[in-house]
Amino acid sequence: MTARITAYAYVHAGAVAYGATFPRFDTVASLGVIEQATPGTTTWARPTTPTPLYLPGGSDQLAAWQTSLNAHAPAGQYAVTYSPTTKRITIASTNGTAFRPTFHSNGAEWTGFTGSLVGWATSWTATAAPAAVAELIGVTVEPAEDWARVDLKRYRHGRAAAIVWGNHQAHQVTLYLKRDDLRALDPGYLVTGRVVIQQGADSTAYSATNPGGVVDGFVLAASDVTEDGDLGDVWTINLVVGVLRV
């Protein structure tokens, strides 16, 4: 049985899957590749909508990177993968092209790579687990609570005004982690913003008739991390996750 929490990468409206320049705000969404034969060219790849870093089915940020690089990099063909066993991301050339991955801002932390890579190789594996994924011992998800009250607020910035409202279902979620995996929570990506929580092999959404399904929503609240028992090997954190009504 697999349990996992994965963070969504933010992508601004109107983003394109390929570019020679890095776009504003998409600090964790973009992966850059520099090929040895054309060292003056950096190909940036990114999904075009907010996307989880990793999903077992492959419809994720890693797949979006791979598709974009294969379509737009000067010479290389690439495979971008994550191993739940080793907890590492690997970026590899599949046609022997030597290259170097590059990241903007906290994109290296997001993927587990070091901030400044040097040299050329046909395969690169991260030195740490990505900050956007945590492998769990287990997870408990309480039945959805109906938060039907609609809160309506108006925000103004200069001459621009926005009307914001919320109406969703909420889950009380408890994550169980090994001590060595606690560091994945430190950057905050997994306890803020939008996340996907997978309870097992079921990849379909949680529902009243499918309580073991995936919970995909926004973290509304998070507790402190606490030790479970006296051995120090298992730790827990409680989240309130809101699932938007559709």
**pLDDT for 24-54, tens place per residue?**
667 899 999 999 999 999 999 999 999 999 9
- Out of 1-5, 30-34, 240-244, give the one with best mean pLDDT: 30-34
> Rounded to whole angstroms, how far apart are CA atoms 27 and 103?
8
Dihedral over alpha carbons 245, 203, 12, 149 (to 10 degrees): 20
Q: What is the average per-residue pLDDT within 206-217?
A: 89
pLDDT of residue 27: 80
Contacting residues for 236 by C-beta, under 8 A, at least 6 apart:
174, 175, 176, 177, 225, 226, 228
Q: How confident is the model at residue 214 (pLDDT cuts 50, 70, 90)?
A: very high
Measured on CA atoms in the order 46, 47, 48, 49, is the torsion positive or negative? negative
- Name the pTM for this structure: 0.88
All structural domains of the chain with their residue ranges: 7-133, 136-244
Find the range with the poorest average confidence among 89-98, 137-146, 190-199, 223-232: 223-232
Sequence-separated (6 or more) residues with CB below 8 Å from residue 42:
20, 32, 33, 34, 102
